Structure 1
Amino acid sequence: MPPVKKDVRSKRVRAPAFVNNLRGVKNWKEVSAWLEWRGIEDIECITPDQAGVARGKMMPSSKFTSNTSLALPSAVFMTTISGRYPEDGNGFVYPEDDGDLKMVPDLSTLTVVPWEDDPTAAVICDLVHQDGRTVEFTPRNVLKNVVAAYDKLGLKPVVAPEIEFYLVHKNPDPDYPLTPPVGRSGRAIGGGAGYSIAGVNEFDELIDDIYHFSESQGLEIDTLIHEEGAGQLEINLRHGDPIELADQVFMFKRTIREAALKHDIYATFMAKPIQGQPGSAMHIHQSIIDKKTGDNIFTAEDGSETEAFFHFIGGMQQHVPNALAMLAPYVNSYRRLTPGVSAPVNNKWGYDNRTTAFRVPRSDPAARRVENRIPSSDANPYLALAASLACGLLGLTRKLEATPPVVTAANQAEIDLPRGLLEAVDLFEQDEELATILGKAFTSTFAAIKRTEFETFMEVISPWEREYLLLNV
C-alpha cells in the first residue's frame, strides 16, 4: 500500500500569517513555528564586529529554541581586521579576564540564508554584559545609543544608504593587483560605463541571484546601477530606520559576496580596490522627523528651510572631519579621498553639488535631506551611520552655524579632511563632544584598533617601494 501523501496546501492555508514573514517574528513562540514551517535545520547567530564582519555561532535550530545561553568573548570586539590585539593606552585597557558577553537575538531580524544548501536561518544579536547591562563598545549598540539620543529630543532620524562595490577576478594571491571580471560578452569589463544598462546586463545572472537572495531575506533594493568603475555597481536602499538600514547593509554585503562567489568571482567593498579606477562610497542620505507631528524638521510650513536644517549641516561640517576614522576606517580608504574627483576631501555643502562633502539633493520640501558623501563602502554601516547622525545631532543641540553653500566645484579647493588614518585617529580622540554621544568605551577601543591596524600596514613593503627605491636610493 503506497504511503499517504500530506496535503501541503491545506497545511499552508491553516498556518498563521506570521510564518510567511520574510524577515522577523515577534516572540520565541513564533520563532519555533517559523523555523518548523520552513524546515530550518541550522541557525547562524551573528553580530557585526568593529569592522562590520559577521561574528557568531552556528547551531541546530532545536538548540536555538531550547533557551540555550549564547556568548562571545569580549575580545571579538577588540581585534584588528588582521586578528591582532591593540596595546593598552590612551584610555583603552584590554580586559585581563577576557570574559564573555551574552548574545541576545533580535527576533525582528530572523531570516533565511538562501545561499546555503541545507535549510538555514540567521538572526542578528545584540551584546550585553552578564548582568544584563548594555555593552557600550559594540557597533550595533553604538548606533542604538545615537538613535536613543535623538529619541530623547522627540526626533527620529531617517536614512537611505547607497553602497558601491566592485566585481573582480578571483585573486587568491594578494601580491597581484585586482582586475575586472569577464562579463557575458567574453571581454573584460572596461571603465566609463556609468549608468550603462549594457554594463549591468554583462552580469545578468549574478544580479538575478542578488535580487533573489535579497527577496528571500526581505531586503528591499530600491535601484541598482553600473557605476563609473570597471565592474563597479551601486545598490540603493529604501529610506527607513537607521538600525534597520544598518542591518540591511550588513546583510547585503554578505549576500552580494555570496552571489559573486556562486559565479566564481569576488565582490569587494574596498574603498579603492583597483589603481586608476574610481573608489567605492557608501553615501548616506539623512533627514530628521518630529515624532509628534511626523514632519521633516528640515522644512518649515511654507516649504522653506528651517534653522534646524542649517544647524544639522553645521554639525556635520564641524564634527565629521573628527569622525572620519569611522567613515574611512582603513589606510586604503584614504586612497579614495583625493582632490579633483567626486570623492570629497572638503567639509563644504551645496545644493545638488556632487563635489561637496554634504550635498542637498533636489527634492520636494517634505523630502528635504542631507547626503553625506564622505563615507567609503569599507566602513562598518552601523558605525558610519552612528558617526554621521551624531555629528548632525551635535549641530542641532549646539545650534552650530553652517557656512554659505558652495555653488562652484569644491573638489579643487583646499583639503579640509585628514589625509591619512593616523591623523584621523588623532582628531577622533580629541573630540570630547563626539565621544560623549558615541560612548568613551567605544571611542577608546576603536582608536586603539585603528592605531594597531596602521602599524600592521607599515610592516608591509609595497611594490612602489621596490620599484622606485630598490635601485635608486
Structure 2
Amino acid sequence: MTSTPIPADDAATLEQIPDCEQIDLLLPDMNGLLRGKRVTREALEKVYQNGVCLPMSLIATDITGNTVEETGLGYDIGDEDRLCRPVPGSLRVVPWQHRPMAQLLLQMEDGQGGLFEANPREVLKRVVQRYADRGLTPVVAVELEFYLLDAELTHDGRPQTSINPATGERNRTTQVYYMQDLNDYQAFTDAVADACLAQGIPADTAVAEYAPGQFEINLKHRADAVAACDDAMMLRRAIKATAEEQGMIASFMAKPFVDQAGSGTHIHVSVLDAAGNNLFASTPDQPADALRHGVAGLQRASRDCMLMFAPHANSYRRFVLNAFVPLNDAWGFNNRTVAMRIPHSDPANLRIEHRIAGADANPYLVTAAVLAGILQGLEDQGDPGPPVVGNAYEQTGHRELYWRDTIKDFMASDFVTRHFGASFRHIYGQQKLKELRSFSREVTTLEYDWYLRQV
C-alpha cells in the first residue's frame, strides 16, 4: 500500500472537510494578490508529490495582472513555468464557499534546486534567518485597517460608504472605537470570527476605526514572523470574501476617500534573545539600548524601504496632516503621532509599533523591511534621538512623499540589496516603475475638470 505524500498536519485538516471537492492553490505575488490554480480533490496528492507549474512572471505581474517584461521574467525567458510546491501545514478549509473546499499556500522554486529568492515570502524568510543566525527571534503581530463599502459604485465609478445593516442608512459619521458600530455590523464581524476559527487565524480584536465604515482587526503576536504574515494574508482573504457574501466590498486601499482617514498596516515587533528575554524590555524613563538602536535602524531604513510601505499611486494620498499617519521618522512612548510608537505596556512586553505602511502594502514585504531595519539598528547601535512627547506634527518636519522618488530611492538602495537581494530589488523596482508609467499615461477626470474648457 502506497503512503500518501500529504503531510500529517494537512492530512488531518483534510479529514475534517468531509467531501472536499476542490482546493485553491495560492501564490501571493509582490502586490500581495493571491494568484494560482483551483484543483480537484483527486489531484491533491499529485500536487504534494510533484508540485504544480505556474509562470515565473506571476510573482511580479503588475496590479492589473499583466506581465512586466522589464523584470526579465516574461518573454526574455520564454515566459517559463516554475514548479510550485505546497507550504507544509498551510492547508485550511474555505468556510465561506457553499461547497466543501480548501486552500493551500504555494512556494515557487527557482529551477536550480532552491526557492525563488524574489518571492516576497522568501524575502521575509531570509531576514528572519539572519535573526536566527544571531540567536534572536522576532515576535510579530499585524494590525489591518480596511473599509466596508457599498457593493454598488456611484454612476462615475467611485466608492460609497456602506449601508448600515441596523439602520438601513448610509454611514456618514465618524465614531472611533464606537461599540454601536460593532453591534450594527455584528453579522460581518461574527462571520469573519467564524472563518478565522475554522482556518486557525489568531485574530483577537476588532474595532471601529476613524471613518464611517472603517474597521481594524488585529492578529495575535507570533514568534514566527512568516506565519504571522501568512495569517495576515489569509485574514485579508477571509475579510474580502465575507464582505462580498454580505453584499459589500472590503477594501484595503490606502485612501479610498480624500476627506476621510486612510487605512494602514501596523507591525508590532519585539525581539527575544536565545534565553527568551525581550531585548526591548524597559520603561519610558529608561529605554533599553536595544530598543533605541532598533528604532534608529528603522529611521535610517525608512527612505530606502518606503516603496515597500507605500507601493501604489494611491498610497501617497494617505500621508496628510493630522490623520494619525506618520509624516516623519519620530518615535515616542504611547504616542500615535509618531512613526515608531512604543505602545503602553508592562516593561517585559515592550515592543515597537511601526505605523508607516498602508493597508495596501504586502505584509511579507512590510515585515521584512521592518525586521531588516531593526536588525541593522542593533548592529549599528545608532541613536534615534529623544522620544517625542506630545504632538509630533508640531515638533518635527513633514516629509513630502512622491511615488516616483520612492521608486528611485528603492532602486538605488544598497540597504535593499544587502538585506533582500539584488534580484528582488530589480524585479520589484521594475514592477513599480512599470505601474508608475502606466498610471502616468492615463488622463484623469480632474484633468478634464481643470483643463478641458479652461485652456
Shorter-chain TM band:
over 0.9
Asked whether the equivalents of residues 57 and 73 of structure 2 are also in contact (C-alpha less than 8 Å), the reply is no
The Cα of 1:243 is off from its aligned counterpart by 0.7
Q: Does 1:125 align with 2:109?
A: no
Question: Residue in 2 aligned with 1:327?
Answer: 309
Asked whether the equivalents of residues 177 and 274 of structure 1 are also in contact (C-alpha less than 8 Å), the reply is no
Q: Identity across aligned pairs (percent)?
A: 33
Question: Residue in 2 aligned with 1:112?
Answer: 93
The equivalent position to 1:289 in structure 2, one of 272, 278, 288, is 272
Question: Residue in 2 aligned with 1:35?
Answer: 14
Deviating more after overlay: 336-345 vs 442-451: 336-345
SS at match of 2:358: coil
Q: Does 1:213 align with 2:213?
A: no
Counterparts of 1:455 and 1:157 in 2: how far apart (Å)? 37
**Alpha-carbon spacing, 1:379–1:356, altered in 2? closer, same or farther (3 Å):** same
The Cα of 1:181 is off from its aligned counterpart by 1.0
**Alpha-carbon spacing, 1:198–1:37, altered in 2? closer, same or farther (3 Å):** closer
Cα deviation code 1:225-267 (max 9, x no counterpart):
1001110000011111211110011011110111111111100
Question: Residue in 1 aligned with 2:183?
Answer: 201
TM-score where L is the length of structure 2: 0.93
User: CA RMSD for the aligned pairs?
Assistant: 2.3
Question: Residue in 1 aligned with 2:242?
Answer: 259
Cα deviation code 1:12-35 (max 9, x no counterpart):
xxxxxxxxxxxxxx9625544542
**One-letter amino acid matched to 2:236:** K
Asked whether the equivalents of residues 227 and 234 of structure 1 are also in contact (C-alpha less than 8 Å), the reply is yes
The equivalent position to 1:97 in structure 2, one of 78, 82, 106, is 78
Question: Residue in 2 aligned with 1:348?
Answer: 330
SS at match of 1:411: helix
Counterparts of 1:328 and 1:43 in 2: how far apart (Å)? 32
Question: Residue in 2 aligned with 1:222?
Answer: 204
The count of aligned residue pairs is 447
Cα deviation code 1:192-213 (max 9, x no counterpart):
2100011112212122111111
Q: Does 1:64 align with 2:47?
A: no
SS at match of 1:165: strand
TM-score where L is the length of structure 1: 0.89
Q: Does 1:359 align with 2:341?
A: yes
Counterparts of 1:71 and 1:154 in 2: how far apart (Å)? 36
Asked whether the equivalents of residues 147 and 157 of structure 1 are also in contact (C-alpha less than 8 Å), the reply is yes
**Alpha-carbon spacing, 1:94–1:297, altered in 2? closer, same or farther (3 Å):** farther
Counterparts of 1:350 and 1:472 in 2: how far apart (Å)? 48
Question: Residue in 2 aligned with 1:471?
Answer: 453
Counterparts of 2:318 and 2:155 in 1: how far apart (Å)? 19
Counterparts of 1:78 and 1:190 in 2: how far apart (Å)? 38
**One-letter amino acid matched to 2:357:** P
Asked whether the equivalents of residues 284 and 333 of structure 2 are also in contact (C-alpha less than 8 Å), the reply is no
Question: Residue in 1 aligned with 2:406?
Answer: 424
Deviating more after overlay: 445-454 vs 295-304: 295-304
Counterparts of 2:317 and 2:30 in 1: how far apart (Å)? 21
Counterparts of 1:188 and 1:148 in 2: how far apart (Å)? 48
The equivalent position to 2:442 in structure 1, one of 460, 463, 469, is 460
Deviating more after overlay: 38-47 vs 317-326: 38-47
Instruction: Give the gaps of 5 or more residues in structure 2.
Output: none
Report the structure number with the largest CA radius of gyration.
Answer: 1
Question: Residue in 1 aligned with 2:218?
Answer: 236
The Cα of 1:69 is off from its aligned counterpart by 2.9
**One-letter amino acid matched to 1:186:** G
**Alpha-carbon spacing, 1:211–1:33, altered in 2? closer, same or farther (3 Å):** closer
